[in-house]
Amino acid sequence: MAHPFTSQRRALIIYSIFWLFAAAGNALMLRLNRAFPISVSISEAVLQNFLFALLGLIAWYPARYIPFRREAWFYSILAHVMAGIVIIALWLILTVGILRALFGSDEIYNSYLSSSVFWRGFIGVMVYLMIVLIYYLVSYARSLRERAQAEEKLKTLVKESELNMLKAQINPHFLFNSLNSISSLIISNPEEAREMIIRLSDFLRYSLKHRENEFVTLEEEMVRMKDYLSIEKVRFGEKLNYNLNASEECRQVQVPTMILQPLIENAIKHGVYESLAPVSITFSCAIRNAYLQLELKNDFDPNQPSRRGTGVGLQNVSERIRLAYDGRASLAKTSEQGVFKVTLYIPVEKNA
């Protein structure tokens, strides 16, 4: 997260103007209350406010890297106290040291300087607390804005992903191939044709039904993916084999809707289409260290020329889970010895 003042020209100008007014007010008070010469009043006011303005910019880093947590509030406060002591002590040492070097020959001013250390420190503490509070408010506002932007981006990605899924399914290749398979089955195996129509209907209905819902149980997601694979199984016959397996504990975990479909589609496109031998698609699930580990593997023929894909499917899945779980979910893929594997790591505690 960038510095709220130095990263924005307008904010830096406003910050500088504030300290200029503070210095002017400080000089006026010294002139009226202490009757110091104008040169002394202006020099002290400019010096101490300029130094505090610089140290005030540095105070952003304790506020940035010492987040206040309720479960560890004592350590957060203690860390800020230590940071505040260092910053205010540095300000006092520099301010008093430089002023004493400049005007220490004046006994009246030198006496005033020594007696003013306490109230300077008190004012420094108040100003430091105010600056840190401003930084926390800025950080909180930025976090809210970034979260809103992330949620909006997630909604857009979900809609795009679902629309891409519908385009991939409700296109001439998918529908025509499915309808041709159904047509051929009507005569040879009417019961299987009827079953395929039901599965196709259920799958498309599921796709439309959950366009506005972001999460479903893994069990529901697996049921619809079996429908999808069953339809493809009719087309590819013995060339396609699949096995989807997950424990009851895994099945009850909420996952982003249609998160498996691009992975399975990718396995069919780059595995089944390109292989001359039978291809197995295997899905498994396990819960490890509070993470749901979803693993999809498929065989492929390394000797066959690979189709060039856009890679959008896996990228969309990776981006969707990253945003949905605030960066705590991830996607990993490996390809070795004729087996392509995609693994999703999803926090179990995420609910819809």
Residue pLDDT, tens place only, 74-120: 777 788 788 888 888 888 888 888 988 888 788 888 888 888 888 88
Distances from the Cα of 143 to the Cα of 1, 6, 148, 149, 331, angstroms: 10, 18, 8, 10, 25
Residue 226 has pLDDT above 50, yes or no: yes
Q: What is the pTM of this model?
A: 0.51
Indicate the burial class of 92 (C-beta count within 10 angstroms; 0-12, 13-18, 19 or more): middle
Domains and CATH numbers, the chain: 9-148 (no CATH), 170-347 (3.30.565.10)
**Predicted local distance difference test score (pLDDT) of residue 169:** 44
Residue 12 has pLDDT above 80, yes or no: yes
Residues 286 and 348 sit within 8 Å (Cβ to Cβ): no
Nearest to 49 by CA among 74, 12, 20, 29: 20
Residue 351 has pLDDT above 50, yes or no: no
**Bridge partners (DSSP) listed for residue 292:** 287, 346
CA–CA separation, 44 and 297 (whole Å): 72
DSSP secondary structure code for residue 319 in this structure: H
What does the pLDDT average to over 131-150?
Answer: 83
Residue pLDDT, tens place only, 239-254: 899 999 999 999 999 9
- Structure tokens given for 197: 């129509």
- Structure tokens given for 159: 């809609």
DSSP result, 143-184 = HHHHHHHHHHHHHHHHHHHHHHHHHHHSSIIIIIHHHHHHHH
- Structure tokens given for 231: 């339809």
- Radius of gyration of the chain from Cα atoms? 33
Residue 254 backbone dihedrals phi, psi, to 5 degrees: -80, 135
- Structure tokens given for 267: 């396995």
Residues 268, 269, 273: CA angle, nearest 5 degrees? 85
Residue pLDDT, tens place only, 323-347: 788 889 999 999 888 899 999 999 9
Indicate the burial class of 174 (C-beta count within 10 angstroms; 0-12, 13-18, 19 or more): buried
Biggest CA pair distance of the chain: 113
**Predicted local distance difference test score (pLDDT) of residue 270:** 81
